[in-house]
Chains A and B, each alone.
Chain A
Amino acid sequence: MAKMTMVQAINLALKQEMEKDDNVVVLGEDVGVDGGVFRVTEGLFEQFGENRVMDTPLAEAGIIGFSIGMALYGLKPVCEIQFSGFTYLGFHQLESHAARLRGRSAGRFTVPMVLRAPYGGGVRALEHHSESREAYFAHTPGLKMVIPSSPRNARALLVSAIRDPDPVVYFEPKALYRAFREEVPEDEETMELGRSRIAREGKDITLISYGAMLHETMQAASALHQKQGIEAEVIDLMTIAPLDDALFIESARKTGRVVVIHEAPRSFGPGAEVAVRLVEKSFLYLEAPIRRVTGFDLVIPLFQREKAYLPGVDRIVRAVRETLDF
């Protein structure tokens, strides 16, 4: 096992899947010779050549629509959109076609593609480079929406996403790209999509998060434990759609108190769906209102004010205390 950053772990997933299956093709802007602006595809061009690691023209709808065609023919394209804030230029291709061709052809055609894009704040970037709009994709029937939280699960989830017979939007929390290293096994590892995991066990309160915010949540959980002996259970969703509600409902039935944490805007965000599922399926177990600690309903501000916008440890700790004191 080697200790890897998330960038290295995603690179490993791509490399190994490409070695294993000739149908896997990587395409996008600057993914070839340059190895991607975050170096996620570094070395792939040299190993697999320009037919499998394609530097494309600068056109997001083109990249996504072209990938759909490749997938319809049986390839497994993994396209990169350089920042999630540019996926909207090709959103219609995902919404109108990738998500629907299975249904439209009554099962004859599938679109086994993966769209990778870095998302989220925390890297002092320009406008359009820090947003967290996973809800658009999660709201679209026929799309899967995956967000890893660590190098190891990033690698395993990406392998599963590439092998999935349906289109998967895979958002990479860029704040975590090089934030820490984790042991990643050299041998193949997969993780079923549509499954959440318990990142920390506890009995007093359930904290539900994913992506970069999982780490703020984990830190908040340790602080609460150290200072007050509060045992928070933390759930990492990993797949936003189809959402696995079994684990967090079970946890909420045990703790009776829930806080949902994400950096996406609050209204109609993933937290809203989580909260409603809890109300639908564990109403009588709840001891306090479900709290959401999220981005505000604003375009994420430029980086001087970004820290105040993003949920952080203090905000999470406060929400937990208030929920426990209710």
Chain B
Amino acid sequence: MPRQEIELPYRIDYLSILDEQGKVDQDLEPDVDKDFLLKLHRGMLLGRRFDERLLQLQRQGRMGTFAPITGQEAAQIGAVAALEDSDWLVPSFREMAAEIWRGKTMENVILLYAGYNEGGAIPDGLNNLPIAIPVGTQTLHAAGIAYAMKYRQEKHVAMVFFGDGATSEGDFHEALNFAGVFQVPVVFVCQNNHWAISIPRSKQTRSKTLAQKALAYGVPGIQVDGNDVLAVYSAAREAVERARSGDGPSMIECVTYRMSVHTTADDPKRYRREEDVEGWVAKDPITRFEKYLKSRKIFTDKKIEAIEAEIKQEIKEAVERSEKKMEELGDPLLMFDHVFAELPPYLREQHEELRKELRQDST
């Protein structure tokens, strides 16, 4: 009866394809065409520029609190780029770039953070859930959605995003466990940005990686350089293919960094040093990818300028559209919409109560 090592079905790999200088590991370089690479770049750049614009709008008092994404563009775009439109995206609250890639409109993002519930609207045909704020809770929805896909024998995939903090939540573990037990087509994408407000990754768990948590549930996990869009995309493509071919769930830990505040209500100076952040500037996902694209002669500085101008214009138009939309949403009675399929009698009475009150206020 010897004491012996138990062999586990999975091990943890770390994947990196583009280094900080934009130098590519040619053995690992994904086989994708030039247009796709340009699309990845545009998705990341749009995320960055829109994030900056949102921060201005918030500072100007035109919008309320939101959670910026700067620094995490590769970890988001690389992952959703592996999805088809018929797949589902289940975001948490810091995946704006991924949501927009998937078709969420910028004006809806603005509307939501400007305090209009309608900003959460998802048009028919777009398979994104609205954002989920209670940390980690959405992971279970993705597992359930994936079960329904499998139940209906549809070859779709659900992809769910969450942060390093979420891996401490029970729901995350229950979701991995359910996904493992029922072998459903879901991809768990952890945005390990090192901070859950003021709590560093090191205080979140004693585990060496977050990816290894998947192993406990019989689910393969991989850690990737989350600031390397090619690495994230390659890992996501592998996981999505695994899910689509009926081989069950996977988890991807994207090691990235929250370059900005937790939300606009947060002051990171209270808990982290500026030097910590500066170390990550050199790892910037967009700069790195631009170096790579230039080295492959896929584009030039001039081309980048043109894209920047295009994005600027798109954002400007979105802000204008959101402002116009806000004018249409001035009626507070809209708060009674979408509670139930039909408003029950007592809610109808309360609706009437507010209607009268509003009429009196205006006279």
How many angstroms between the C-alpha atoms of A246 and B148 in the bound complex?
A: 40
Of B118, B132, B134, B347, the residue contacting A242 (CB under 8 A) is: B347
Q: Which residues of B, 196-246, contact A by the 8 Å Cβ criterion?
A: none
Q: Which residues of A, 26-79, contact B by the 8 Å Cβ criterion?
A: 51, 54, 56-57, 59, 61-62, 64-75, 77
B170 in contact (CB, < 8 A):
yes
B2 in contact (CB, < 8 A):
no
Residues of A within 8 A of B (CB): 25, 51, 54, 56-57, 59, 61-62, 64-75, 77, 92-93, 96-97, 101-110, 141-142, 144, 164-166, 194, 242-246
Residues of B within 8 A of A (CB): 88, 117-118, 120-124, 129-130, 132, 134, 137-149, 151, 158, 170-171, 174-175, 177-178, 181-182, 337-341, 344-347
Q: Which residues of B lie under 8 Å from residue A105 when comparing CB positions?
A: 120-122, 129-130
The 3 closest A-B pairs by CB, nearest first: A69-B144, A65-B140, A242-B344
A65 adjacent to B171 (CB under 8 Å):
yes
Q: Which residues of B lie under 8 Å from residue A246 when comparing CB positions?
A: 345
**B contact face: mostly helix, strand, loop, or mixed:** helix
A56 adjacent to B178 (CB under 8 Å):
yes
How many angstroms between the C-alpha atoms of A183 and B98 in the bound complex?
A: 56
Q: Which residues of B lie under 8 Å from residue A75 when comparing CB positions?
A: 148, 151
Interface centre among A64, A77, A242 (most CB of B within 10 A): A242
B137 adjacent to A102 (CB under 8 Å):
no
B338 adjacent to A102 (CB under 8 Å):
yes
B142 adjacent to A51 (CB under 8 Å):
no
- What are 6 A-B residue pairs whose CB atoms fall within 8 Å in the complex? A59-B177, A67-B144, A103-B117, A108-B124, A142-B339, A164-B341
B340 adjacent to A166 (CB under 8 Å):
yes
Which residue on chain B has the smallest CB distance to residue A50? B182
B118 adjacent to A106 (CB under 8 Å):
yes
A69 adjacent to B148 (CB under 8 Å):
yes
B122 adjacent to A66 (CB under 8 Å):
no
Q: Are A242 and B148 CB-contacts (below 8 A) given A61-B171, A68-B141, A107-B338?
A: no
How many angstroms between the C-alpha atoms of A93 and B120 in the bound complex?
A: 19
Q: A61-B174, A75-B148 are in contact. List 4 more A-B contacts (CB 8 A).
A: A65-B143, A97-B141, A142-B340, A244-B345
